[in-house]
């Protein structure tokens, strides 16, 4: 697997079935984020192929939440969430947005500018998309536990398990254990032997 001219690791093989939650593990620089971005169709696959239902990754209906917040600090929690849903052309009502914000423990913060939130609260704004109706079947989450407290980690594990139980698929990266994970792909096992 490559990112630009840099080869990160050898060929990776995995099949992600409905109901599975995969954790991509490995040291920094092994290609975890690159793999997720390829699955999301953001980065091109330079060798091999990624297929799902006979479609390339760029045509999949996937929900990608990166480790960078992607939030506009001057907009409110509600406006940021509305904007993020618009990226996937997800038709969502204001009532549904309020309900998702409540699910991630931010009720009362709907009209607060993101600039005034803590790191953990900003992460919750991103993750609120997982509690909206009709999300994509495939969730790609890059370091979703970053800055979260114990209560929110528990809620996220439960939500991931619910999504899998409904036939969804999840691929995530994390340096921390994720209780809901059913399968692991360790990129260290595909690591190339670098020449000195």
Question: What are the structural domain ranges in the chain?
Answer: 9-190
pLDDT above 60: residue 7: no
Q: pLDDT band for 6, please (50, 70, 90 cuts).
A: very low
Q: Is the pTM of this model over 0.75?
A: yes
pLDDT surpasses 90 at 35: no
Average pLDDT over residues 118-137: 92
Q: Which pLDDT belongs to residue 30?
A: 77
Q: Is 125 left (phi over 0), alpha (psi -120 to 50) or beta?
A: alpha
Closest listed residue to residue 136, CA positions, set 56, 40, 54? 40
CA distances from 170 to 106, 115, 149, 157, 166 (A): 24, 29, 21, 11, 12
Q: Please state the separation of Cα 114 from the chain's center in Å.
A: 20
Q: What is the pLDDT of residues 45-76, one digit of tens each?
A: 776 666 666 776 666 778 999 988 889 999 99
What's the chain's average pLDDT?
85
CA 127, CA 121: separation in Å to the nearest integer? 10
Q: What is the pLDDT of residue 38?
A: 85
pLDDT at position 72 is 96
pLDDT for 77 equals: 98
| CATH architecture group of domain 9-190 | 3-Layer(aba) Sandwich (3.40)
Centre a 10 Å sphere on the Cβ of residue 177 and count the other Cβ atoms it contains: 9
């Amino acid at each position: 697997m490559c990112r630009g001219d840099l080869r990160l690791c050898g060929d990776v093989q995995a099949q992600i079935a409905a109901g599975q939650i995969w954790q991509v593990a490995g040291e920094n620089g092994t290609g975890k984020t690159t793999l997720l971005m390829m699955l999301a169709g953001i980065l091109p696959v330079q060798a091999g192929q990624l297929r799902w239902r006979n479609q390339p990754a760029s045509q999949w209906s996937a929900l990608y939440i990166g480790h960078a917040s992607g939030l506009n600090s001057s907009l409110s929690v509600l406006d940021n969430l509305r904007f993020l849903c618009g990226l996937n052309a997800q038709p969502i009502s204001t009532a549904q947005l309020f309900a998702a914000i409540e699910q991630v423990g931010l009720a009362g913060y709907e009209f607060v500018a993101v600039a005034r939130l803590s790191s953990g609260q900003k992460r919750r704004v991103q993750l609120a998309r997982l509690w909206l109706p009709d999300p994509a079947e495939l969730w790609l989450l890059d370091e979703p536990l970053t800055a979260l407290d114990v209560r929110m980690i528990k809620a996220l594990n439960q939500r991931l398990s619910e999504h899998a139980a409904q036939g969804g698929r999840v691929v995530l990266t994390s340096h921390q254990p994720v209780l809901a994970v059913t399968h692991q792909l360790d990129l260290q096992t595909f690591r190339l032997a670098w020449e000195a």
